[in-house]
Amino acid sequence: MVNISIKFLRKKMDSGSFCSKQNLILVGFMGSGKTTVGRLLAQERGLFLLDTDMLIESKVGYQIAQIFARFGEPYFRNLEKELFQWLKTSVRGAVVATGGGLPIHCENINQAGKVFYLQMEFEQILQRLSQDECDKRPLFQDIERTRILFQARIPIYEACADAMIDASLDSADIVQQILEIVD
pLDDT digit string, tens, across residues 89-125: 999 999 999 999 999 999 899 999 999 999 999 999 8
Q: Is residue 119 a contact partner of residue 37, using CB atoms and an 8 Å limit?
A: no
| Beta bridge partner(s), residue 117 | 27, 164
User: What architecture does CATH give domain 6-182?
Assistant: 3-Layer(aba) Sandwich (3.40)
Q: pTM (2 decimals)?
A: 0.85
pLDDT digit string, tens, across residues 37-78: 999 999 999 999 999 999 999 999 999 889 999 999 999 999
Taking the C-alpha atoms of residue 115 and residue 110, their distance in angstroms, rounded to an integer, is 6
**84-91: which pairs have CB atoms within 8 A and are 24 or more residues apart?**
84/52, 84/109, 84/112, 87/23, 87/50, 87/52, 87/112, 88/112, 91/23, 91/50
